[in-house]
Amino acid sequence: MDFAFTSDQQLLKSSARAFLDERCKPAAVRLLWEDARGASDAMWKEMAQLGWLGLALPEAHGGSDLGMVETALLLEELGRASYPGPYLPTMLVATAINRVGTDAQKGRWLPAVSSGSARGAVALLDGELSWSPEAITTRASSAGTGWKLSGTKPFVAWAHLADVLLVPARGAEGTTVFLVDPASPGIKQTPVTGMDLATRWVNLTLDGVPVGLDAVLGGLGKGQGVLESMLRMGAVGAAAEMLGAGRRCLDMAVEYAKVREQFGQPIGSFQAIRHKCAEMLLEVENTHAAVYYAAWALDAGADDADLAASVAKAYAGDASRKVCGEAIQVHGGIGFTWEYDLHLYFKRAKALEVQYGDADYHRELITRRVTA
């Protein structure tokens, strides 16, 4: 039983911190907030060179064969930096292809992801806004040797930068996941502006988008399982990012409480502030335990991996919202300004709350499992 990181894992974390402190400073994030596409190609290439994009992919495809714990370590640091870009969705697409894709699909996409020349997006939500894979309404109607996809996919993060879209649809065979070329005819992308400008959302409409047999990921009618495991990994990944955002806000609040003086003393000497900081730390440490337990459980194929993923997502959502919000409170007026950086993380945490299953969805999964 060892809950601590190995020295390699610690090294990965500290080098990620060093890189992001340098290349993804709040000022850099703010520039990207203003950017039309919202992400930096140069930074993406550097992340590829650092080995981050192939972290959990096989060596044969240019990866490092590491797992979810390492991915979560990186995501925590990315969340801490409020890094803008499609890291998590790309990892989800690549992991799904690696797990259930054909050799041709692996050969086409995995080396390209590892080397930084391909990005992905996942269209998990459907028109009905249900996270449940059973509720998919996008249709796959057979047309010749292939299918035509029609439906609405709202809130797809980073679809505009994607080289490949992962789209589940329902057809005669049941639910199937397709790898779709974003340039296909019949796809319309409409950008949607959320409060976190480091998360770019696109509403997709599919109107008879043609796909062939080679687009099927993981087998015809096998979509449910593919989606469930993707949601699990997405949930843990998002929880890790929220952990990072929370830790950043906690650090900022504690530093501020040490130096800001009112009534002739540092505000950190007031219990109302000190106790708030202690509660924030408690939430952050509990989130840490939840995120890394879940990441380990995914890697180890533990019996409770799905439960742990839902627990991590549901817990991290509540905790990071509280921690980032209380950091604003500790700062007073300055915390409410656009110039001060706290809102970068506050908004990042909020944007992640609604991705890969919101807390209500995961709590229902938990209840179903533990009352069965």
Partner 1 sequence: MDLNYAPEDRAFREATRRWFQANTPKVEPKTLAERKAWHRTMYDAGYVGMLWPKEYGGRGATPMQQAIVQDEMARAEAPPPINGLGIGFIGPTIIVHGTEAQKQRYLQKMLTAEEIWCQLYSEPNAGSDLAGLKTRAEDAGDDFFVISGQKIWTSSGPIADWGILLARTDSKVPKHKGISCFLFNMRQPGVDVRPLKQITGSSLFSEVFMTGARAEKSDLIGKLNGGWEIAQTTLGYERGANSLGRVTRYLTAFHHLVRMVKELKRNGKALIDDPVVRAKLGKIFTELEVQRYAALRVLSALSKGEPISAASSITKLSYTEFEKRFFELGVEILGPWGQLMPGSPDDVVEEMSTSSGEPGTFATAYLWSRAGTIYSGSSEIQKNVIGERVLGLPKEVRADRMKG
Backbone angles phi, psi at 25, to 5 degrees: -60, 160
Binding mask 314-333 for partner 1 (x = CB under 8 A): xx------------------
279 binds partner 1 (CB under 8 A): yes
- CA torsion 67-68-69-74 (nearest 10°) is 100
Binding mask 237-276 for partner 1 (x = CB under 8 A): -----------------x--xx------xx-xxxx-xxx-
Residue 95, amino acid: T
- Per the CB < 8 A criterion, the answer to whether 320 and 240 are in contact is no
Binding mask 3-32 for partner 1 (x = CB under 8 A): xxxx--x-----------------------
- Per the CB < 8 A criterion, the answer to whether 88 and 94 are in contact is no
Residue 68 vs 209, nearer CB to partner 1: 68
Distances (CA, A) of 183 to 86, 132, 206: 18, 27, 12
Residue 48 vs 359, nearer CB to partner 1: 359
DSSP 289-316: HHHHHHHHHHHHT-TTHHHHHHHHHHHH
Minimum Å gap between C-beta 124 and partner 1 is 20
Q: Tell me which of 7, 145, 193, 371 binds partner 1, using CB under 8 A.
A: 371
Minimum Å gap between C-beta 277 and partner 1 is 6
Closest CA relative to residue 342, chosen from 272, 254, 210: 254
Q: How far apart are the first and last CA of the chain?
A: 29
Q: Tell me which of 108, 285, 325, 340 binds partner 1, using CB under 8 A.
A: 285
Please give the residue ranges that form the binding site for partner 1 (CB under 8 A): 1-6, 9, 69, 254, 257-258, 265-266, 268-271, 273-275, 277-279, 281-282, 285-286, 288-290, 292-293, 296-297, 300, 302, 307-308, 310-311, 314-315, 360, 362-367, 370-371
